[in-house]
Amino acid sequence: EGCFYTLGEDLANVLDEATRTGAQLLLIGDFNARIGRENVTNDEEDAITRKSEDEVLNFEGKKLLTFCDNNALKILNGCCRGDYTGKFTFIGALGASVIDYAIVKEDNPDIRLDVLARTESDHLPLVVTLDWSFVLQPNSVSIFRVRWCWDKTFNAAFSRDLDRELQKFIVDDSVDLSTLVVGLNERIQSAAKTAGVRRSSTRKVDEHWFDRECKEEKRKVRRCLYKFRRSCEEVDRLIYIAARKALRLLYYKKKERDDDTWNKIRNSKNTTDFWRVVNSYRKGKDRKRQDIALDAWKQHFKILLNGTDSMSDDVNPHQEIDDLLFNSVDLLDREFDEQELNKAINKLKGGKSPGIDMAINEFYKAMSRSARSIVLKTLNVIWRTQTCPREWRIGDIIPIYKAGKEADTNNYRGITLLNTLYKIMTTMMTSRIQEWAEQEGIITENQAGFRKGYGTRDHLFTLNARRKEIEIVNGKYMKMILGLNFNTPDYLWAMELGRNDLECVAMKRVFKYVLHILKMDEKRWPLICLKEMINPNWNPKFIWWVDFEKMVNSVGSCELVAAMRQNQDENIVFWMEDALSTLIEQGLQSRWRRIDDSTFCPYYQWIKQDFLEAEYLQDLRISTINREMWTRIRCGNEHRGEKKWLAERDQLCRLCSERWRPWTIFLCGVRF
């Protein structure tokens, strides 16, 4: 049945609602219908003359006219501003036609329609210019940051022009700090402009295969298209079709040679190399909620950062504390030298957004030695005066959308972009404080983050090597909590509490993490690395996988490794549970054997018949003192040597106040 009858049924409610509420309506796209020079209505009074380069009227075109006439719609092609001639909207190998339309309500205001030239597709784009007004939220702002389009080819020119700019730049203690900082920044940006560095509000994205040759060929095809649209001759159409085929063939050849990018990704040795290649071809994220009022942002970050409306003049409210802690320390008080400056500049990363000074990190990296000496003098002037320039205390806060409702400011994370010269100075200060703290022994071995030569792996290695020590510490702590003697065997309190060995806890966590990785998407790197680890042909084997195999084989669960290599999800879960239960059972059997052979508490095997936590430890009605006494009795802490070294009064049972005998524990247990 007719597509427009179906379309009319689907849009009936939408058209009725638009008519009832007076809303605007626009239908645009490929209708696959040719209406020639016919219009929606054939009434002589209402008829509007249409022009069209396509004079063919087909059956689908008649249905489109009927659909528009029944729903009070008008076709813009050939009878509105921008397209009075009814230009072709489709140019293919078999011919040219008008099958793409823009349709609006009859009472809509005047609208402009343009048919643009494009060579990428047989269909030409329709551009509709609307004069419909939309009410934006008051006091809203749309901010687009300008970027420097830097390239390494600018290094020599920028360094030369900056040296010329700084020849007459005077650095002295008598000059105002703000004037000094602003003057240096102005000369840096002036040198960048002179060197030819462009500024753009868009992010540069590598097209990898679309080079200058492709652009030139595309211009030639576009000229052929313009020529055909002016003449509408068949010869010009055939020339345009041939030129477009040649352009597509060129695109195909360029894409075939574009294998270098994928080779770099495949050969990336770490995540840093991988994302460096990927990010060069990624487009920036869409900007979110540009219509949020500026006052809303201001109030949000004012509350979040505990800020005020005015800037405090007290630069360092903790000056007395600083003088007390760092007084007469030459390492911290001396002026900065050239070596410190070069180290701080080398730490700056490329491709980062600048602060309010708009001086990117690449500017400082490309500076010559003479230019860096001017920067060093400027920083030392600020260091001697112990005053922070006002420009350094102002930053641009960029809200980054995380998750949730886009209209809620609480769903954004702010990133403050600071002055680049300020970041260089704080980097040098941080290096000094770290060196001084290391020399004075202020930072302990427990702190591994943000320290050179330290890392989380150090702690992991220490924990693995000190497992026995951890078990001893854990045992001492649990005995202290339960009120047991220090010489009480660990298997007694562990059985009393129903605790598993550390190996069981570690295995459970390892299995949980492996299942988490196996549920990831196929493109995630953790899953890719795990599949490489379990590959039996991979040589040499990964250390982590070797340890995993040893752990699994120790409980006789070789089937788990086979299930993981065959991607059998259900079997993996089953064999993991089987391996975990086997390890728990092995630990329990080892404890039962030690309990049977125990001389510390020989009757514990009659008391404890399961491996669950004792019921009296879970009963909140029992006081802590009674719970502690009962634990000591059950674990053999109250009958050692039958208390013969104590006075007769002290040999009485704490629960029943009768003389202690080996069977007292069972009688008291019934009473208790």
pLDDT tens digits for 499-519? 887 778 888 888 888 888 888
Whether residue 550 is predicted with pLDDT greater than 90 in this model: the reply is no
DSSP 544-562: HHHHHHHHHHTTT-HHHHH
Q: What is the largest CA-CA distance in the chain?
A: 128
pTM for the complete prediction? 0.48
pLDDT for the residue numbered 571: 86
pLDDT tens digits for 457-497? 666 666 666 666 777 777 888 888 788 888 888 888 888 88
Mean pLDDT over each residue of the chain, to the nearest integer: 79
Range of weakest confidence among 333-342, 380-389, 554-563: 554-563
CA-only gyration radius of the chain, Å: 40
Please, which pLDDT band fits residue 9 given cuts at 50, 70 and 90? low
The four Cα atoms 475, 476, 480, 485 give a dihedral, to 10 degrees, of: 90
pLDDT for the residue numbered 338: 93
Distance CA 150, CA 195 (A): 11
Structure tokens that stand for 514 in this block: 């492996």
The residues near 559 (Cβ < 8 Å, ≥ 6 apart) are 571, 575
pLDDT for the residue numbered 20: 64
Does 590 or 13 have the greater pLDDT score?
A: 590
Range of weakest confidence among 104-108, 146-150, 666-670: 666-670
pLDDT for the residue numbered 379: 93
Share of the chain above pLDDT 70, in %: 78
Does 283 or 89 have the greater pLDDT score?
A: 89
Q: How many CB atoms lie within 10 A of CB 287?
A: 11
- Domain ranges in the chain are 1-130, 147-204+293-304+329-443, 212-265, 489-608
Name residue, tokens 């669950």.
Answer: 612
Does 538 or 365 have the greater pLDDT score?
A: 365
The residues near 23 (Cβ < 8 Å, ≥ 6 apart) are 17
Whether residue 314 is predicted with pLDDT greater than 60 in this model: the reply is no
DSSP 548-609: HHHHHHTTT-HHHHHHHHTT-HHHHHHHHHHHHHHHHHHHHHHHHHHHHT-SSSTTHHHH--
Nearest to 551 by CA among 588, 512, 508, 603: 508
Alpha helices in 449-542 (DSSP H): 456-465, 467-482, 490-497, 502-518, 525-533
Mean pLDDT of 338-354: 91
pLDDT for the residue numbered 289: 53
CB-based contact 633:665 (threshold 8 Å): yes
Please, which pLDDT band fits residue 629 given cuts at 50, 70 and 90? confident
Does 422 or 556 have the greater pLDDT score?
A: 422
Whether residue 168 is predicted with pLDDT greater than 70 in this model: the reply is yes
DSSP 35-91: BTT--S---TTT------S---B-HHHHHHHHHHHHTTEEE-TTSSBT-TT---SEE
Mean pLDDT of 33-40: 86
Mean pLDDT of 589-607: 82
Q: Which CATH number fits domain 1-130: 3.40.47.10, 3.30.420.40, 3.40.50.620, 3.60.10.10?
A: 3.60.10.10
DSSP 349: P
pLDDT tens digits for 201-235? 555 444 556 777 887 888 888 888 878 888 888 89
Report how far apart, in Å, the C-alpha atoms of 597 and of each of 102, 157, 499, 606, 608 are.
Answer: 92, 85, 20, 13, 14
Name residue, tokens 């784009």.
Answer: 125
DSSP 401-432: E-SS-TT-GGGEEEEEE--HHHHHHHHHHHHH
Please, which pLDDT band fits residue 315 given cuts at 50, 70 and 90? low
Question: φ, ψ for residue 104 (rounded to 5)?
Answer: -135, 175
Question: φ, ψ for residue 26 (rounded to 5)?
Answer: -140, 125
Please, which pLDDT band fits residue 144 given cuts at 50, 70 and 90? low
Whether residue 390 is predicted with pLDDT greater than 80 in this model: the reply is yes
Name residue 128's beta-bridge partners: 113
Distance CA 296, CA 310 (A): 18
Share of the chain above pLDDT 90, in %: 12
Name residue, tokens 């239908």.
Answer: 27
The residues near 20 (Cβ < 8 Å, ≥ 6 apart) are none
pLDDT tens digits for 394-445? 888 888 888 888 888 888 888 999 999 999 999 999 999 888 888 888 887 7
pLDDT tens digits for 113-131? 889 888 878 899 998 887 6
Range of weakest confidence among 304-318, 378-392, 577-591: 304-318
Range of weakest confidence among 8-22, 176-190, 229-243, 648-662: 648-662
Entry field: residues in the chain: 672
Best-predicted range by mean pLDDT (128-142, 173-187, 337-351, 626-640)? 337-351
